[in-house]
Structure 1
Amino acid sequence: MVEADATPLGHHNEVTAIPFFSADRFQYWVIDFERHEFEVVMTDGTRHTEALPPTTLRDNQVARSVFDWKSWWVWSTTVRGDIFPSEAYSRVSTDKGRPAIYLDQNHWSTLAWARVDPSKVKDQDELAAAQRIIALALDAGIVLPLSSAHLTETSPLYGDRRYHLGLAMAQLSGGWQLRSPLTVWVNELAAMLAAYEHVPVPPSTQLPVVTLEPQAWSANDVHAHEIDNDLELLQLVLTEPSVILSTLIDTTPLEKGDASAWVKRNREITELFATECLTDAERTRRAEGLFWCENIQELERAAALVGVDASRFAQDASALVQQLRATPYLSILSALFQRRHLDRNARWKESDFFDMMYLSCGTAYCDYVAAETYTGTQLQQILRQQGKQGNTFLSLTELVTALNRDGVKTASEKAALDDL
């Protein structure tokens, strides 16, 4: 593809000194998945089109995505004709600028039905709260990040129900994501080990957890923040909405991953503690140390990232526990595991994996969380125990009460107040 003055795409024009990838040159970049075309619209009105490489999406539900260079947004249209916007990632600006709210999947379902068929939300207080959250999300009042847990937990649904839920989630999240808790886990450990060893902290550990970075929700090997090729990065930004939406509303039901081994192991630990004759202090110390023993691989990955020897840290669980208490996410997650391991009545199930990992991460890095009752109640107790401000709620009604208390408003409401 070549622009009108024959400057190759991906290079800079030294005569005009205008950055090549700039709104001064481009108006729109368009990916048309149905016509298998990639089109560039220049600011002077000229257009350049070329064939689109075959997509790797198994069941792409996005017909067209348009990157608006002036607004720095991606506008996508589904094969059914529905439109959803996404803010585009930029390495320069990473500040979300408004409160972030992490929602458990059941609360996302309430929001979706409040948009599609309000009659399905029987609790009128929850319906009113859902409609307020929707208004805040659509008018730049809040950020509603999606996580890989959300993408996975929509998979058992199918047909129109899955489409409407997935579309609502894509529309209301607007491209915002929660970085994979597995990545956050290793990043926190790496920062902790670097501080302990007085060595430079890896830059990756400083990345925002609530972000627009493409595929940050995944623990795969795609790291957009490391891409130094502008063309490659922008193409990734342009295709990210189609990846997210297609994963959310893929018409083929997907099976959830098998977490039975994880459930079995945690049940065994709970049963072991129930049979041991220990003092409360001894049980607590054992449970704290066990968290490290059960997750030694994460410690090794973090040590490799920092460039230090993990073996001596693994041998001193007491020192690690002390360091752990200063980490935002792991201090909460480890306390949650400890609480359940020491509860002889705890009943482990596969959904606990997502609830514990993701709600703990949301609690640590988002301004507010609407959780499911069991995990949410324990998170509230842990925050109080740790002397931290409570930001976790069990219903949308409670969440909106807190938002109103804190003066969270839409952009239009803020503008109206400024005009007074």
Structure 2
Amino acid sequence: MIVPVSSAHALETSALYNERRQNLAATILRISRGWQMRSPVMVRMREMKGVLSDVYSVPAAPDELDVFSLAAGAMDTKRRVASASDLPPGLAKLTNRLTAFSTIYDVLMNPERVPSVVAGWHEHFNNVSRDPEFRARSSKQKSIDGRAMAVSDVLQEGVAAALSLGVPVEERLASVLYARIDSMPSLRVYGDVIGHRLKNRAKWEPNDLIDILFLGCAAAYADVVVAERTATDYLQRSWGSRDRSCPVVAKLPEAVGKLSHLLD
């Protein structure tokens, strides 16, 4: 059984400090055993590359497809730049792995209080929810709008994905990504959650971005995801018709039940 650590753990535990943070961090590190969930940004970039490669018939370079990985720096959003070294390849690789995992350890075990960053991302969606014209739209149209907003949110990443493949960046790039969103698991969850929350006029909070990004990505690829009650509710309600049931639960006994069923 794999219980990975992600950069969301560093963000979500930043409000704790001293012994409480260190005890929680020690538990996370012990249970994860080096396994990490890749950055959701990198996961959806890879999804978009796959779509664009297919649409434009451009071969994509082989990429690591594992969302849950033991690779050094797997949970980083940007690829690590290895410093020049005269070490033999095997030893250089080991050094890189040790550096990566010691960094995770240091970040999680840092006993100091880290001030929370209040981003303006959530206010955009609060404004949309309050907009009279948007509120007058049908429920179905709001769901469509949620997916469109998700694509708009990640369009610069889509441009980067296109450039990396040598694909021409056309005006229809957003339309291509929107039309193929069902084939991009994490981006689909992202868009459907946005649509569901806007449709139900949910109040958006600063930490909602972290929840939607990381829990949504995990839900798209993991067998079981444990989340707090509110996130579980909107992920389950926005899940819709998929090949499998929503893996997100709010209680550990439910998670054990799901795991037991998978292991039968």
Contact 1:179 1:210 in 2 (8 A): yes
CA positional deviation for 1:273: 6.2
Match of 2:74 among 216, 222, 226: 216
The answer to whether structure 1 residue 163 and structure 2 residue 22 are counterparts is yes
Count of residue pairs brought into register by the alignment: 260
The answer to whether structure 1 residue 153 and structure 2 residue 12 are counterparts is yes
Closer, same or farther: CA 275–364 of 1 in aligned 2, 3 Å: closer
Q: What stretches of structure 2 of length at least 5 have no aligned partner?
A: none
Deviations 1:225-271 (A, max 9, x none): xx994332210112333211111111222123332x11111211222
AA at the equivalent of 1:313: R
The answer to whether structure 1 residue 334 and structure 2 residue 191 are counterparts is yes
The answer to whether structure 1 residue 234 and structure 2 residue 105 are counterparts is no
Match of 1:279 among 138, 148, 153: 138
The answer to whether structure 1 residue 198 and structure 2 residue 57 are counterparts is yes
**Secondary structure of 2:75's match?**
coil
Q: What stretches of structure 1 of length at least 5 have no aligned partner?
A: 1-141, 409-420
Equivalents in 2 of 1:322, 1:331: separation in Å?
A: 11
Closer, same or farther: CA 165–389 of 1 in aligned 2, 3 Å: same
**Equivalent position of 1:361 in the other structure:** 217
**Larger of the two Rg values belongs to structure:** 1
Equivalents in 1 of 2:77, 2:193: separation in Å?
A: 22
Match of 2:200 among 320, 339, 343: 343
For residues 17-32 of structure 1, the aligned pairs below 5 Å read none
Match of 2:177 among 320, 325, 329: 320
**Equivalent position of 1:352 in the other structure:** 208
**Equivalent position of 2:65 in the other structure:** 207
Between 1 and 2, higher relative CO (CA 8 Å, sep ≥ 6) is seen in 2
Contact 1:299 1:310 in 2 (8 A): no
Contact 1:273 1:342 in 2 (8 A): no
Equivalents in 2 of 1:383, 1:213: separation in Å?
A: 30
Structure showing the higher helix proportion among its residues: 2
Closer, same or farther: CA 289–159 of 1 in aligned 2, 3 Å: closer
TM-score by length of 1: 0.58
Q: Cα RMSD between the aligned structures?
A: 2.3
Equivalents in 2 of 1:343, 1:395: separation in Å?
A: 24
Equivalents in 2 of 1:249, 1:273: separation in Å?
A: 47
**Equivalent position of 2:235 in the other structure:** 379
TM-score by length of 2: 0.89
Contact 1:190 1:201 in 2 (8 A): yes
For residues 13-412 of structure 1, the aligned pairs below 5 Å read 142-204=1-63, 206-222=64-80, 229-259=89-119, 261-272=120-131, 275-314=134-173, 317=175, 319-344=176-201, 346-407=202-263
Deviations 1:299-345 (A, max 9, x none): 1111112211232333x62x43221111121111111111112222x
AA at the equivalent of 2:198: H
CA positional deviation for 1:357: 0.4
